[in-house]
DNA sequence: CGAAGAGTTGAAGCTCGTCAATAATCGTGG
DNA sequence: CCACGATTATTGACGAGCTTCAACTCTTCG
């Protein structure tokens, strides 16, 4: 969707190479700009400012720890390519993964407000990041209220995702948890255009990561995936994920498309909710 | 309608009229101001502006639903007295509580950015709330950068709490979950000065709420509390919570004081973390 | 007083974790 | 290129933690 397929190097045999969307929306190839563009309408000035802020880049090896709990920094990292996770360890050695960072995600905008981090951030793949001086980012935010607002929105979205995760980990059983996570991560990758031509996704996740995401053991994750496979719901071999039965998986997961707020606020994304009308107190 | 409760019917008969602390610190009795004051240094102008914004007040009955999922509003509610919870239901009837709202907490600053809510907010006690027009709040934020920053901090703190909850629900066993929650809620109430003279807390939580917070069943919560009682860790009868063995409880929970960021950023609150120094990438 | 809600207790069972052994895959260096 | 160890995935047996169901008590409140 959006303009993701605008300049793509014919990875998809189906999409035509030409660019049919308006020039303005076709322009950004910077994932931060693409992401913020989903929350606010940005103009050329904003594009330039954001582009400038991301000029310092760095390539990183897989499995590297990007940021450590407690570290302080006057920079903010932006994922340009690759995948990272937030996590924390418990003293008993258990690890909880608290979020996945994909291209366009900041890790951590947190530093705009606090001077240290309360969790680790590790890379799952080799990656490219932009190293953004906080000072520059704040001045862009000051100069462009729309950027400030869009950044705020990304934080609010992240909070919403954490709530959904809490619901997932707290109230669903293992199969539902897994199903829900698969729906979520594939939706996010899809919105980034990271779908293979055959409809599969290349995801560098091991079952260990899945287990630590959902609060399960690797053994149990393995069994659940086996069953998914047997039931014709999902294929997940090596790092290739294929969702065979999207409907079935979503139903099992109780997945609500639109919760990720990937699309701009649209009445459709919360139609049922909106139907309930204004809150009681205000309406009274 | 909104300001119907503007003339408050002298509900407070307990607080003494005299003031022994310095005038400046004595002045704010508005819990929002007290809370924001923990994150930023506010002056008289900010006090007045915030006070003005909170002038419309409303009293509410216990068990009332304050806000419903999907509702839209041009107001933000601030808890002045009482206790509320955020929660969401799953289609199978299970409920996950995602946060507790105490005096000084906004529910939901969310509306500053998004126009609808993705969860319900319900009252556990009778309560008093301030009904703040979003427009007024945004103009205060525009006029006073410190207020804006402090509000941002509250959001970041909330996100940090969600991460901690995720860790709690995902990786700890029932006893540890309960212990951790008890540490957290008592710490928050303590920082609000809501401790009874005998060191106990008056908390209007039933075991149902505890269960829905931790992703457990009422039955199991009951059993855990029984055992806490037998082990001399905690007393929790009716709505009176007494922590008998603070050290023991914290150790069991692996509770990290300071995670709530109740205190101003201090080197002490993250000493061990700071010792680890700068993050690898930047230092390199 | 009666009804509804909250808490307690026991028995039984299921989901998921633990332990352990094996196979498949990957990365690395010879 | 193959060989090596290390990581990842799979499978089985067993057990523990927690849930479910159900009955009963205690409290609260109209």
Over residues A36-63, the pLDDT tens digits come to: 888 888 888 989 999 999 999 999 988 8
Q: How many CB atoms neighbour CB B219 within 10 A?
A: 10
Distance CA A76, CA B280 (A): 13
Rg (CA), chain B: 20
Q: Closest Cα to residue B139, out of B49, B37, B28? A: B49
Distance CA B159, CA B260 (A): 10
Q: Which of B68, B158, B280 sits opposite A279 (nearest CB)?
A: B68
Q: Domain A56-167 class?
A: mainly beta
Q: Closest Cα to residue B154, out of A155, A259, A164? A: A155
Q: Closest Cα to residue A130, out of A60, A82, A80? A: A80
**What is the SS3 assignment for B120?**
strand
pLDDT score at A73: 86
Q: Residue B223: which residues within 8 A CB-CB, separation 6 or more?
A: none
Kindly list the strands in the beta sheet with B240-243, ordered across the sheet, starting from the edge strand earlier in the chain: B201-202, B240-243, B234-237
Q: Roughly how many angstroms between the first and final C-alpha of chain B, as a whole number?
A: 61
Q: Which CATH superfamily is domain B20-167 in?
A: Jelly Rolls (2.60.120.10)
Q: Write out the H or E segment, with its range, that includes residue A1.
A: none
| Right CATH for A173-283 from 1.10.10.10, 2.40.40.20, 3.30.70.3040, 3.40.190.10 | 1.10.10.10
Using a CB-CB distance cutoff of 8 angstroms, which residues of chain B are in contact with residue A159? 155, 158-159, 162
Q: How far is B254 from chain A (nearest CA, A)?
A: 8
Q: Do A118 and B259 touch (CB under 8 A)?
A: yes
The DSSP bridge partners found for residue B78 are B106, B130
Q: What is the residue whose two structure tokens read 């287990």?
A: A211
Q: Closest Cα to residue B92, out of A150, A251, A82? A: A251
The DSSP bridge partners found for residue A152 are none
Q: Closest Cα to residue B209, out of B91, B133, B124, B116? A: B124
Which of A54-90 are b and which e, b meaning 16 or more Cβ less than 10 Å from the residue's Cβ?
beeeeebeeeebbbbbbbbbebbbbbbebbbbbbbee
Distance CA A196, CA A189 (A): 10
Reported residue count of chain B is: 284
pLDDT band at residue B27 under the 50/70/90 scheme: low
Q: Write out the H or E segment, with its range, that includes residue A263.
A: none
Optimal mutation site among A279, A280, A282, A284, interface B, most CBs of chain B within 10 A = A279
| Lowest mean pLDDT, pick from A133-147, B60-74, B212-226 | B60-74
Q: Do A90 and B172 touch (CB under 8 A)?
A: yes
CA of B12 to C1' of D9 (A): 64
A174-191 helix and A145-171 helix, angle to the nearest 10 degrees:
160
Kindly list the strands in the beta sheet with B95-101, ordered across the sheet, starting from the edge strand earlier in the chain: B65-67, B120-123, B84-89, B95-101
Q: Do A98 and B163 touch (CB under 8 A)?
A: yes
Q: Maximum Cα–Cα distance for chain A, whole Å? A: 57
Distance CA B114, CA B116 (A): 6
Nearest-CA residue of chain A relative to B74? A282
Q: What six digits make up the tokens of B169?
A: 């629900």
Domain boundaries, chain B: 20-167, 173-283
pLDDT score at B238: 84
Same fold, A56-167 and A173-283: no
Percent of all residues in chain A with a pLDDT value above 70, rounded to a whole number: 82
CA of B127 to C1' of C5 (A): 21
Handedness of CA B204, B209, B214, B216 (dihedral sign): positive
Handedness of CA B139, B141, B147, B150 (dihedral sign): positive
Percent of all residues in chain B with a pLDDT value above 70, rounded to a whole number: 82
Distance CA B120, CA A163 (A): 12
Chain D bases closer than 7 angstroms to a protein Cβ: 7-13, 17-22, 27-28
Q: What six digits make up the tokens of A96?
A: 């909880």
Reported residue count of chain A is: 284
Q: Which of A73, A118, A214 sits opposite B278 (nearest CB)?
A: A73
| Mean pLDDT, residues B191-198 taken together | 92
More confident residue, A108 or B230: B230
Distance CA A56, CA A67 (A): 17
pLDDT reading at A124 higher than 80: yes
pLDDT band at residue A108 under the 50/70/90 scheme: confident
Chain C bases closer than 7 angstroms to a protein Cβ: 5-11, 15-20, 25-26
Distance CA B219, CA B215 (A): 12
The DSSP bridge partners found for residue A101 are A84
| Mean pLDDT, residues A251-256 taken together | 92
The DSSP bridge partners found for residue A67 are A121
B77 φ, ψ (degrees, to nearest 5)? -100, 140
Q: Are B167 and A98 in contact (CB under 8 A)?
A: yes
Which of A195-213 are b and which e, b meaning 16 or more Cβ less than 10 Å from the residue's Cβ?
beeeebbebebebebbbbb
Using a CB-CB distance cutoff of 8 angstroms, which residues of chain A are in contact with residue B155? 155-156, 159
pLDDT band at residue A13 under the 50/70/90 scheme: very low
How confident is the prediction for chain B on average, in pLDDT?
Answer: 82
- A157-191 residue pLDDT tens: 999 999 999 999 999 999 999 999 999 999 999 99
Q: How far is A217 from chain B (nearest CA, A)?
A: 10
User: DSSP code of A255?
Assistant: -
Which of B237-255 are b and which e, b meaning 16 or more Cβ less than 10 Å from the residue's Cβ?
eeeebebeeeebbbebbbb
How confident is the prediction for chain A on average, in pLDDT?
Answer: 82
């Amino acid at each position: 969707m959006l303009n993701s397929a605008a300049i793509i190097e014919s990875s998809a045999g189906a999409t035509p190479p030409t660019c049919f969307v308006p020039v303005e929306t076709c322009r950004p190839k910077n994932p931060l700009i693409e992401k913020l563009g989903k929350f606010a309408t940005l103009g050329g000035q904003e594009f330039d400012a954001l582009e400038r802020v991301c000029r310092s880049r760095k390539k990183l090896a897989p499995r590297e720890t990007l940021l450590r709990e407690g570290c302080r920094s006057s920079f903010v990292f932006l994922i340009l390519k690759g995948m990272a996770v937030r996590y924390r360890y418990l003293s008993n050695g258990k690890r909880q993964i608290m979020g996945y960072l994909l291209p366009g995600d900041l890790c951590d905008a947190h530093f705009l407000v606090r001077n240290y981090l309360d969790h680790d951030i590790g890379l799952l793949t080799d990656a490219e990041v932009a190293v953004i001086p906080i000072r520059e980012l704040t001045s862009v935010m000051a100069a462009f209220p729309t950027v400030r607002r869009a950044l705020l929105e990304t934080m609010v979205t992240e909070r919403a995702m954490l709530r959904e995760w809490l619901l997932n980990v707290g109230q669903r059983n293992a199969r539902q948890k897994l199903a829900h996570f698969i729906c979520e991560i594939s939706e996010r990758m899809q919105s980034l255009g990271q779908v293979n031509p055959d409809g599969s996704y290349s995801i560098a996740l091991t079952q260990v990561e899945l287990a630590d995401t959902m609060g399960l053991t690797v053994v149990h994750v393995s069994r659940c995936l086996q069953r998914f496979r047997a039931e014709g719901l999902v294929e997940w071999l090596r790092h290739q994920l294929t969702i065979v039965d999207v409907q079935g998986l979503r139903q099992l997961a109780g997945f609500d498309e639109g919760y990720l707020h990937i699309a701009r606020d649209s009445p459709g994304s919360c139609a049922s909710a909106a139907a309930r009308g204004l809150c009681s107190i205000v309406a009274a």
